[in-house]
Amino acid sequence: MSNTKAYGAVFLIRLIYAVMQILMKATFNEGMSTSVFVFYRQSVATLFLVPVAFLLERKRAPPLQYMVALKIFALAFCGISGSINIYNIGLNYTTATSASAMFNIMPVIAFILAVLFRMETVKLNRMHGMVKTSGIVLCLAGVITLALYQGPELKLFTHRYLLHHTGSRTHGASSTHSKKSWVLGVFLMVMSTAAWALWAVLQGPLLLEYPSKLLNTALQCLFSTIQSFFLALIIERDFSRWKIGLDVTLISVIYCGIIVSGVAHYLQSWTIEKKGPVFLTMSMPLTLVITIILSTILLGEAICLGSVLGGILLVGGLYNVLWGKRMEALHSKIEASNGAEASMEEKEKETQV
């Protein structure tokens, strides 16, 4: 039953992030400042989560020590305010397709970090180790395919799409990128993804020190709001771009603030506690697959053959790693059972002697 809940939570998380990507793309098409957007979404998340966390956790939450608060502050910057701002800046230097592809290297980075922190093991001489490794290879192949190969368009829908781009607030971003700006964008994407992966890996140990998941999420939202405000002041000096209209921008801010920064972050913390960080991050290719479908329906974007092939490789890598982890868990149970039986036999022999 717990496995069913974990898989359901992971799918819901990926669906939430897929819808987020569609809304953010429509919002940035309207010319919304990326740094200001981060501040607004975290403000909404804080206003939503802090009262709820205070009402539900004020009596049972453990005392917040200074060092724990400092760690939560650092993780808030690593996994929310800092990484999201870097991601959005990198997106301006590249394309949405390349950005999505780069974002999917997070499972690889998280797996490497988890191995370095001894939270995961890879035994290449065992079947489960080879299966997990093949999953990582498939994920890398999927990312490379998405980044370097587009192929023919497979436009499945020809109707009028729901989230149209009016261009009323666009600031004339160029559709072409120089080689230097492209390299910079890719570098920023890698930095952002590495920060998210580090957040996912370090979230587990933090929950052992401070087990209140709801209050932990609320505090991270609060700290990231303060951090995002100062980052927005530094990055965006044009205060006319701080305005929010009654359009998709407002919907996106509310959705990202409550559903993404609130609900999804709490679900992520719960999933990490139950199944570990690699289980969560290896599900990220699902977001890309769902996004491809929703972008076609809502934004009228054509699906490229490269996206389909890359998505298949990424999902194949996901299930290979999950299959390897399941094999490893079953193998550990069998070894533990055999060890217990051997111990019982030894005790019986000693009794007979």
288-342 pLDDT, tens digit each = 777 777 777 776 666 677 767 877 887 787 778 778 877 877 877 776 676 665 6
Confidence of residue 23 (pLDDT cuts 50, 70, 90): confident
Confidence of residue 176 (pLDDT cuts 50, 70, 90): very low
Q: Which among 95-99, 192-196, 260-264 has the top mean pLDDT?
A: 192-196
Confidence of residue 247 (pLDDT cuts 50, 70, 90): confident
* Continuous segment of H or E residues that includes residue 113: helix 106-116
Strand partners of residue 303: 154
Tell me what pLDDT residue 184 has.
Answer: 76
Tell me what pLDDT residue 45 has.
Answer: 84
Tell me what pLDDT residue 227 has.
Answer: 94
Residue 82 in this model has a pLDDT that exceeds 80: yes
Task: Report which of residues 94 and 216 the model is more confident about.
Answer: 216
Residue 58 in this model has a pLDDT that exceeds 50: yes
- 197-216 average pLDDT score: 80
DSSP letters spanning 172-219 = ---S---HHHHHHHHHHHHHHHHHHHHHHHHHHHHHHHS--HHHHHHH
Strand partners of residue 304: 153
Contacts for 2-10: CB closer than 8 Å, 24+ residues apart = 2/274, 5/274, 6/271, 6/274, 6/275, 6/279, 9/267, 9/270, 9/271, 10/271, 10/279, 10/280, 10/283, 10/286
User: What does each C-alpha distance from 196 to 87, 110, 191, 251, 330 come to in angstroms?
Assistant: 10, 8, 9, 25, 29
- 248-277 average pLDDT score: 81
